[in-house]
Structure 1
């Protein structure tokens, strides 16, 4: 099992604290029960860190007209909106909420070239709330594809306060490639041209890089 590199500091600290707790547990002459409970608690936290920062391999579906999910989690929004921060156009919007139990590594929905990555300061509302998409701290990645411009917004939540985009302008990324992570529960919004047709619905559970969430309805640009 692979682990996201962003999780290594968290895992290392948890391991060290667990080791210290274990040392006191096995060497203490008094308060054995207290140290035992503390050790078990630290071990549970360590196990959670390993679980949370897991980065499993995914089987990327093949096909030139498919768009895959950028995140694991639950679909909470499927709509048509006017995106006025980057695209300034009517687009299709897909929002996915990630709980602490989901894999939090994000993947590119469709092959393209990164043209801009921008971190936007903001609030930390609960990620499933409507206003989170507009006002929460986020990292917006603009990707130019052969079907038009795609926007991916990694949104911080009330617990997750750090979104990480590993991509940089000029990077060419293929469908399903890893491009970032959001630490702890959060949300990803995907904005697609109207030439894409979203095929999932609110309440569906999706997996990053594996679940086909939309398809293109027009031919590639020549």
Structure 2
């Protein structure tokens, strides 16, 4: 993946900067800004116009797309989403990821795997990223409901989009974007067959939602419940590593 090398030996040049606004969100921000200016300048309704200015700032903030420093450990599986780790459970992968697709792409099987669920509030960055480097073998969109994304049944009933990625060694990692109460559209940036770099942007979910990650067999998570995950940076697991990780809420 193209970008400047930053490492623990001090290489690189890092500094704070305003995050970019993803193109997908610029139109929403401009529409909100135009409405706010109409109330402020054309109608002189400050009681409506100024709150709309705050809404405009919120819209631009929602679609912010900050740079991320992606760990290059080949065995690291990184978080595809910003948010709170709200569920870690063992469950069979979704049907859309289980079986062969009939075109030579194998699935993850029907055995239970570890699923790590990351809940994104409206205050989190909503650009989702590839958890590993490899080929996108499957991308399946499923229409559905808009239940609270924090509910377990949301993974089966809500609008969602499944990704299945394969590393060079054949290891499979699946993940699912799930719409929530406020989210109303899942937007992909990639298509099946694409070669993706770890941390590459793959899509977004508009206005609050959840991402489930299905780890390969024999792999346990490196994150704990209640931990804050950062897309493209937080290592949520390492291939083939299975050990207990504990934390204390303070």
Question: Structure 2 residue aligned with 1:108, among 130, 133, 147?
Answer: 130
Query: 208-217 or 144-153, which moves further after superposition?
Result: 144-153
RMSD of Structure 2 on Structure 1 (CA): 1.4
Give unmatched runs, 5+ long, in structure 2.
Answer: 1-18, 99-109, 242-250
In the TM superposition, 1:173-184 aligns within 5 A as 173-184=196-207
User: In the comparison of the two structures, how many residue pairs are matched?
Assistant: 210
Give the Å deviation of 1:126: 0.3
Unaligned runs of 5+ in 1: 29-34
Which digits, 9 at most, give the CA deviation of each residue in 1:187-208, with x for residues without a partner?
Answer: 0001121132211011111100
Instruction: Show structure 1 runs of 4+ deviating over 4 A.
Output: none
TM-score by length of 1: 0.90
**How does the TM-score come out when normalised to structure 2?**
0.80
Match of 1:202 in 2: 225
- Higher share in strand: 1
**CA positional deviation for 1:84:** 4.5
Structure 2 counterpart of 1:31:
none
* Corresponding residue for residue 65 of structure 1: 75
Aligned equivalents of 1:202, 1:156: Cα separation in 2? 21
Instruction: Please state how far the C-alpha of 1:82 moved relative to its aligned partner.
Output: 1.5
Would you say the 8 A contact 2:216–2:239 is kept in 1? Answer: no
Alignment pair present for 1:135 and 2:157: yes
Aligned to 2:90: 80
Deviations 1:83-117 (A, max 9, x none): 24122332221100000000000011111101121
1:171 aligns with one of 194, 199, 214: 194
Q: Deviations over 1:105-163 (max 9, x none)?
A: 00111111011211101111100011101111101111112352211100001110211
Equivalent residues in 2 for 1:1-222 (5 A)? 1-24=19-42, 28=44, 35-85=45-95, 86-87=97-98, 88-145=110-167, 146-217=169-240
The secondary structure found in structure 2 opposite 1:129 is coil
Once residues 94 and 51 of structure 2 are traced to their aligned partners in structure 1, the CA distance between those partners, rounded to angstroms, is 46
Contact 1:90-1:193 within 8 A present in 2 as well: no
